[in-house]
Structure 1
Amino acid sequence: MIAETVCSAVAAAGLGIAAVTAYRKRFLMAARIAAYSLVPLGLVMTGVVQWAADTAFSPTAWAGFGVLGGAWLLFAGTRAVERRRGGTRKERKAATEAQPDALAPQASAPSLGPASRATARPQPGPRADSADDFSDIEAILKKHGI
């Protein structure tokens, strides 16, 4: 009974604030305030507030929420353990049976022949003259009058 009264008072106060806001010619804000203030009134009229109040003060409902929380913790805990182990027991067994030996004898032998030192190092090319490096820059600067 008290919850319905509080919700109705909040709705009335909100509509009053919306009227004052509309008087100040802020119609969009007034419409938004009116919409927010009508929500508690609608919840009272549909009976949601009574149901919520009955649920909030019911020890049986709180015990039910506790049982649901415990079930959720069990699900989350088993999932975490399953991830750490790498899947369920059936999945691990199927993976080990389907997978042949991971290492073949030929896999450790090098596929390329021995490398030579001469081909491993790149040969330096002929160096360009340092004056040629700056000639392009000088041309650009002269073009702009610098």
Structure 2
Amino acid sequence: MLAETVCSAVSAAGLGIAAITAYRRRFLAATRVAAYSLVPVGLVMTGVVQWVSGIVFKPSVWIGFGLLGAAWLLFMATRAVERRGGGTRKERKAAAAARREAVAPEASAPSLGAGRAPAQPAARPQGKPAANEDFSDIEAILKKHGI
């Protein structure tokens, strides 16, 4: 009963503001204010206000909303754990086995950590020049062309 009275008062005040706005020759704004002020009375007449006030003032409804929130939090927590890799033991073992079976084990050797020493380069044959000696020819060509 109180909610219906408040909605009626809000609508009456809105219609009064619309009348003042129309008196100032702002008809478009006055029409918009009148439309907004008729919404609360329409909600009262359709029974929406009574339905909403019944929901708001019942403790069992709030307990239901709390349970829905708890279910949502549990659902999101399980998704977060799944994303971090906390699946079943079989899934974790399969993932560990897949990591061990690398296609090129030597290629991933530097990423294994600081505990391992890097692989030593192979000894250079006597007839081949070092890599930086090969680049000296390229540097000379680039200097010749002014690059």
Post-superposition Cα deviations, 1:74-106, rounded to whole Å, max 9, x if no partner, equal 1111111111126x4399369639948114356
Match of 2:131 among 88, 105, 116: 116
What is the distance in 2 between the residues matched to 1:115 and 1:45? 93
- Structure 2 counterparts to residues 1-146 of structure 1, below 5 A: 1-85=1-85, 88-89=87-88, 92=91, 96=95, 99=98, 101-104=101-104, 107=107, 116-120=131-135, 122-123=139-140, 124-126=142-144
Please list every run of 5 or more consecutive structure 1 residues that lacks an aligned counterpart in the other structure.
Answer: 129-146
What is the distance in 2 between the residues matched to 1:115 and 1:78? 57
| Residue number in structure 1 paired with 2:112 | none
What is the distance in 1 between the residues matched to 2:24 and 2:14? 15
What is the distance in 1 between the residues matched to 2:23 and 2:31? 12
Identity %: 59
Stretches (4+) displaced over 2 A: 88-100, 103-110, 118-128
Residue 72 to residue 105, structure 1, CA distance change in 2 (3 Å): closer
- Count of paired positions: 125
Post-superposition Cα deviations, 1:106-132, rounded to whole Å, max 9, x if no partner, equal 65799xx9962133363352598xxxx
